A and B are shown apart, each in its own frame.
Chain A
Amino acid sequence: MLSMQNFGDNGKMKDYHYTGPVEHRFSPYAFNGGTVLAVAGEDFAIVASDTRLSEGYSIHSRDSPKCYKLTDTTVIGCSGFHGDCLTLTKIIDARLKMYKHSNNKTMTSGAIAAMLSTILYSRRFFPYYVYNIIGGLDEEGKGAVYSFDPVGSYQRDTYKAGGSASAMLQPLLDNQIGFKNMEGVQHVPLTKDKAVQLVKDVFISAAERDVYTGDALRICIITKEGINEQTLPLRKD
């Protein structure tokens, strides 16, 4: 897509008499918005994303979820540049198949996270413009969340928000799930139903204040029984 930099930049008055050459810059990236969130519990994990695909002032689609199922116990959420999200998930799927064929077993969440780190770093000098969060169950059946930066740095967390509204959601999660820096509060472990309710509330708030988040919410709940998907409408404006 052509970068929009030449179209009436920043409200400056264009010079009517200018007829010389204009430099057009091609940007290989676009920002398609979207927010992803993942929460890990004792024996479950939740990965949720909104379903709005936007670019600039337009909405391309209201039904483009950003969670992709990788295995029966792992879901990845990718936001950022949609083109790179699609290619990256295709590459991960292919690598999962290769691993399955050579090692005769499915990749665990931790292994997928380590592999994704090297895949992202292999493009260190022309990065995948994607913010990834992997949610799933580890080998012991406990919930695991792995969050990444665009070039592959990753770590395991209990909860993480990524994408356009991440800076709004992360503090709320720090308060409600992490009980960070709160005095005199009892740390109750998070139940699955409470976590799902929290995720819904948090996205409703994000849709209020972030233009790139909205339309619908897709929640994937991962337990040892399998992956359960729910869809909830959000603000469409």
Chain B
Amino acid sequence: MALASVLNSDCADFSFDTCQPFGFGSEPGQSSLGFEARSLDGLSFSVKSALSAGDEDGVERKIEFLHGTTTLAFKFQHGVIVAVDSRATAGSYIASQTVKKVIEINPYLLGTMAGGAADCSFWERLLARQCRIYELRNKERISVAAASKLLANMVYQYKGMGLSMGTMVCGWDKRGPGLYYVDSEGNRVCGDLFAVGSGSMYAYGVMDSGLRQDLNVEEACELGRRAIYQATYRDAYSGGQVNLYHVHSEGWTRISQEDVLMLHQQYKDQA
């Protein structure tokens, strides 16, 4: 499996044998992708008790992974706009307000992060490595379709084992702007517009009402920013700052990073 082979190469003694029959199919706390807890068949530890330690004091102490988000991306005539929030939650505790949810795979490919923070950053970092290997072997940049397929195939091997990842692979290749949604369930779809995360419904509302094909770059950025802002306003698990990127034919550019509080003041003054 991909995970074992990568980790085997550097640390011979510390590899984890992923061929064992037990897998922990539960993601405690919130899952923005609606992932369900599974019970195990066969040997070893029951899923729920293994991941919840020390119940005797009455407080359920689960191992909390980082979760909760709003991310969106849409295509328009000048490329792809990618906008994300920056909040990471562990249960109901806000672990960080300054998480980077856009992963720069290479100078012309971006990946967004929604779901389990460790899952997204690990697999997308692995994707960056695979894309680089492709470039070296084929002397040509990898296409967005191929990159997203690589990611989808990597995580498909772990389907049902509890990975939680909902990502959008955005880039520009010889076919023009590319946008794919890939998740840990095995979905991989091409589209013009996606929003992923616990705040995605709010973002869809704003985006759908404002999206036209003839937007210019300024207007498209503002639409993405507004959509994330509205999602952070209504979704408790989204917040922090709005990070905005624009993918065009030369690659991607970081447009802005604005605190949601500043945006709130700005929109209030405008109204």
Q: Which residues of A contact B (CB under 8 A)?
A: 3-5, 7, 9-10, 25-31, 55-57, 81, 91, 94-95, 98, 117-127, 129, 147, 149-153, 155, 157, 166-167, 181
Q: Please name all residues of chain B whose beta carbon is closer than 8 Å to the beta carbon of A7 when the two chains form the complex.
A: 56
A29-B50, A31-B53, A117-B122 given; A149·B24 CB < 8 A: no
Q: Count how many pairs of residues, one from A and one from B, have CB atoms less than 8 Å apart in the complex.
A: 114
Q: How far is it, in angstroms, between the C-alpha of A121 and the C-alpha of B122 when the chains are bound?
A: 8
Q: Which 10 A-B pairs have the closest CB atoms?
A: A4-B56, A153-B117, A29-B53, A31-B54, A153-B118, A151-B118, A152-B118, A122-B7, A125-B24, A31-B53
Is B118 in contact with A27, judged by CB distance below 8 angstroms? no
B261 interface hit (Cβ, 8 Å): yes
A122–B16 touching, CB < 8 Å: yes
State whether A152 touches B57 (Cβ < 8 A): no
B54 and A30 within 8 A (CB): yes
Measured between beta carbons, the chain A residues less than 8 angstroms from B64 are: 149-150
Q: Specify the chain B residue showing the minimal Cβ separation from A25.
A: B49
Is B178 an interface position by the 8 A CB rule? no
Nearest CB on A from B9, distance (A): 11
Contact of B3 among A10, A26, A55, A122 (CB under 8 A): A122
Q: Say yes or no: A4 contacts B55, CB within 8 Å.
A: yes
Residues of B96-148 at the interface with A, using a CB-CB cut-off of 8 Å, are 96, 98-100, 116-119, 121-122
What is the bound-complex CA distance between A95 and B90, given in angstroms? 29
9 contacts between A and B (CB under 8 A): A10-B58, A120-B118, A121-B122, A125-B23, A126-B16, A149-B65, A151-B119, A153-B116, A167-B93
In the assembled complex, the CB of B44 is this many whole angstroms from the nearest CB of chain A, namely 9
Residue of B with least CB distance to A32: B54
Smallest Cβ-Cβ distance to B57: which chain A residue: A56
The answer to whether A122 and B50 touch across the interface, beta carbons within 8 angstroms, is no
Q: Is there an interface contact between B14 and A91, defined as CB atoms closer than 8 Å?
A: yes
Q: How far is the CA of A117 from the CA of B121 in the complex (A)?
A: 10
Question: Which of A3, A91, A94, A129 contacts B49, CB < 8 Å?
Answer: A3
**Within residues 1 to 36 of chain B, which ones have a CB less than 8 A from any CB in chain A?**
3, 7, 11, 13-16, 18, 22-24
B117 surroundings in chain A (CB, below 8 A):
149, 153
Check A151–B7 contact: CB distance below 8 A: no
B24 touches A126 (CB 8 A): yes
**Complex alpha-carbon distance, A7 and B56, angstroms:** 8
Contact of A25 with B121 in the complex, beta carbons under 8 Å = no
> Bound complex: CA of A101 vs CA of B24, how far in Å?
36
Residues of chain B within 8 A of A10, CB atoms compared: 58
Q: Which residues on the B side are within 8 Å of A126 (C-beta)?
A: 16, 24, 50
Interface centre among B11, B53, B100 (most CB of A within 10 A): B53
When the two chains form their complex, are residues A152 and B99 in contact, meaning their CB atoms are under 8 A apart? no
Query: Which among A55, A125, A129 is the interface contact of B162 at CB below 8 angstroms?
Result: A125
Question: A31 to B118, alpha carbons, bound, how many Å?
Answer: 22
Q: Which residues from B are CB-within-8-Å of A91?
A: 14
Instruction: Please name all residues of chain A whose beta carbon is closer than 8 Å to the beta carbon of B16 when the two chains form the complex.
Output: 122-123, 125-126
Given contacts A91-B14, A122-B16, A151-B116, are A27 and B53 in contact (CB under 8 A)? yes
How long is the Cα–Cα vector from A7 to B52 in the complex, in angstroms? 17
* Given contact pairs A27-B50, A29-B50, A149 touches B66 in the complex (Cβ within 8 A): yes
CB of B45 closer than 8 Å to a CB of A: yes
**Of A3, A57, A95, A155, the contact of B96 (CB 8 Å cutoff):** A155
B45 engages A124 (CB within 8 Å)? no
Given contacts A5-B55, A121-B122, A122-B15, A27 and B49 within 8 Å (CB-CB): yes
Q: Chain B nearest CB: distance from A207 CB in Å?
A: 18
User: Which residues of B are found within 8 Å of A118, using beta-carbon distances?
Assistant: 7, 122
Could you say which residues of chain A place their CB within 8 Å of the CB of B52?
27
- Complex Cα gap A127–B47 (Å): 12
Contacts of A3 in B (CB 8 A): 49, 53-56
